Amino acid sequence: MKIDREEARRIAGLAHLELDDAALVRMADEMTKILTYIDQLREVDVEGFEEHAESAGTPFREDEPRPSLDRALAERNAPSWNDGFFVVPKVIGGE
Amino acid sequence: MSDVLELPWHEARQQVSPREYRDACLAAIASRDPQLHAFLHVNRDADGDGLPIAIKDNIVTTDMPTTCASRILGEFVSPFDATVIARLRRRGAAVMGKTNLDEFAMGSSTEHSAFGPTRNPWDPNCVAGGSSGGSAAAVAARMVPAALGSETGGSVRQPAALCGVVGVKPTYGRVSRWGLVAFASGLDQIGIVTKTVREAAEVLGVIAGHDEMDSTSSTHPVDDYAADLDAGVRGLRFGVVREAVEQLTGEVRENFDAAIATLRGAGAVVEEASVPTIGYAIAVYYIVANAEASANLSRFDGIRYGRRSPQARTLDEVYSDSRGEGFGAEVKRRIMLGTFALSSGYYDAYYGRAQKVRARLRHDFAQAFAKFDFLITPTTPEPAFPIGAKTDDPLSMYLSDIFTAPANLVGVPAIAVPSGFSKSGLPLSLQITAPHFGERAMFRAAAAYERETEYWRKSPIPT
């Protein structure tokens, strides 16, 4: 599988990763090499095998209300915080 | 005073007080770690009169930062302890510090740490392995008797092998992952590094068990993992995985053949086993693990915790710039590969196909375990490699996990046990894999092999 710079740019956009042109070229090259190795999976006979693994089932607990994370503790790690809220740049009505 | 650090914990604690032992650990860290860089944070005030233990820095603790060896987490300090930490503390363990790793546990050498590599205690020009390289080096260099790591494709067993210590990956779901920063949720499992098999069995007994905070943690009863350590291997059946070992040459081959002879000498039955798809494990792993990582690491967005790019002016830039600046090259590469494998038009050909091959691999392991109690291979295809040897070739780095990744994909437990040394004096390792929840028997087999060989007694620390 060949990945070119434009394909790398499209994937970086999906992944929310800012990469400059030089980084995109290098990334495309490395991804091509790795995916070429991964392409050997095409030769495996997987007839009769399903994509989704069998599972022992999820153990559930009672759905009871309980305290959640204290706001003061959340604030301690937040890069920008005001009056109980995480702050982000204006999304609506900007520019 | 530091002689006590050469002993297993259960012997050392008979000889010195807990306080004296902790002080010996701190003194060893102060003198050895400047060269090795196993620790990212040392807890000089660690208390608790039980086992002193170091913790890989992707497991959260309230009294120390958690960095995941990434710039993106900034000064993050968790508001809660991981379940494994809470269980250890309840049993009196002293949490001595946080250990170095490849950023977000993505790597096989600890060279992808944002804070610089960990060096191998047997040869500081070589890597310690990874991603739990700090935990393995800390135990190998006798700075702590035990450490926790995490496994997604061999990240405990591979560095344990390269550093000459015991490394355990329990069954998927055996240990709660609440508080382990998620890499690939369908594979991740917390593991253990110690000098001896007994110490590892005892630590597993403390941290294993269901936890309602992790719905993937199993309700399967916790065993007495140390109960059969002296029972030996007479009559037990070990399968040598033909497809994994047929390419082996040189001293790794000779070492593995010697391990087979040792097991036979102890009364074990060792015969050829077949797992036809085992050679595809790395290809499957790098699709499945990276796909899950691309989703898990979307939580690092520069908003709720960690570092936000100072140049971001719009919300999109908060995401893209914070992540572009905060993640290292290997993490970006994996997020890119995972995003690609899940993207429209490629999902069936990559992620879907990898999961089907994984299902076949699981089937092949089940067939092999119908005939054998254990499967064995070397833990790694080669001993520790020089720092820098593989950093420009991601694929060759990935292939260091060729013997370890299958257990993660299948979900079974496996242990790395020291099996001797290369001609240049670097550790080699035997891997014993057991069926799901077969840890008790796995520790029995590993302890029997350890008793015959006692390689753990050799120390990299000059006396």
Q: What is the ipTM of this complex?
A: 0.94
Positive/negative CA dihedral, B84, B86, B87, B88: positive
Which CATH number describes the domain made up of B2-275+375-457?
Answer: 3.90.1300.10
pLDDT of residue B337: 98
DSSP state string for B349-381: IIIIHHHHHHHHHHHHHHHHHTT-SEEEEESSS
Q: Does B367 touch chain A (CB under 8 A)?
A: no
Report CA dihedral (B400, B73, B326, A71) to the nearest 10 degrees: 140
Question: How close is the nearest chain A Cα to the Cα of B248, in Å?
Answer: 20
Average pLDDT over residues B339-344: 96
Token reading at B79: 């508001």
- Inter-chain contact A44–B360, Cβ cutoff 8 Å? yes
Q: Which of B60, B357, B361 should be substituted to probe chain A, the one whose Cβ sees the most A Cβ atoms within 10 Å? A: B357
Q: What is the pLDDT along chain A (95 residues), one digit of tens a residue?
A: 899 999 999 999 999 999 999 999 999 999 999 999 999 999 999 999 988 765 667 777 888 999 989 999 999 999 999 999 999 999 887 55
pLDDT of residue B48: 95
Average pLDDT over residues B305-314: 95
As a whole number of Å, the end-to-end CA separation of chain B is 11
pLDDT of residue A58: 75
Q: Is the full-model pTM beyond 0.90?
A: yes
Known active-site residue B56: yes
Question: Buried (b) or exposed (e) across B370-381, using 16+ Cβ within 10 A?
Answer: eebbbbbbbbbb
d(CA B351, CA B295): 13
Known active-site residue B155: yes
Q: Which of A41, A60, A75 should be substituted to probe chain B, the one whose Cβ sees the most B Cβ atoms within 10 Å? A: A41
The residue written with tokens 């700075």 in the block is: B143
pLDDT of residue B463: 74
What would the pLDDT profile of B351-391 be if each residue is shown by its tens digit?
999 999 999 999 999 999 999 999 999 999 999 999 999 99
The residue of chain B nearest to residue A61, with distances taken between CA atoms, is B212
- From the candidates B155, B218, B294, B322, which is the catalytic residue? B155
The residue of chain B nearest to residue A3, with distances taken between CA atoms, is B340
Domain range annotation of chain B: 2-275+375-457, 278-357
Average pLDDT over residues B265-288: 97
- From the candidates B70, B131, B217, B309, which is the catalytic residue? B131
Q: How many CB pairs under 8 A join A and B?
A: 148
Q: Which of B336, B339, B342 should be substituted to probe chain A, the one whose Cβ sees the most A Cβ atoms within 10 Å? A: B336
B454 close to B419: Cβ distance less than 8 angstroms = no
B370 close to B415: Cβ distance less than 8 angstroms = no
Question: How close is the nearest chain A Cα to the Cα of B317, in Å?
Answer: 8
The residue written with tokens 């295809």 in the block is: B381
What would the pLDDT profile of B74-105 be if each residue is shown by its tens digit?
889 999 999 999 999 999 999 999 999 999 99
The residue of chain A nearest to residue B278, with distances taken between CA atoms, is A44
Residue B91, amino acid:
R
- Among B37, B181, B40, B179, CA closest to B98: B40
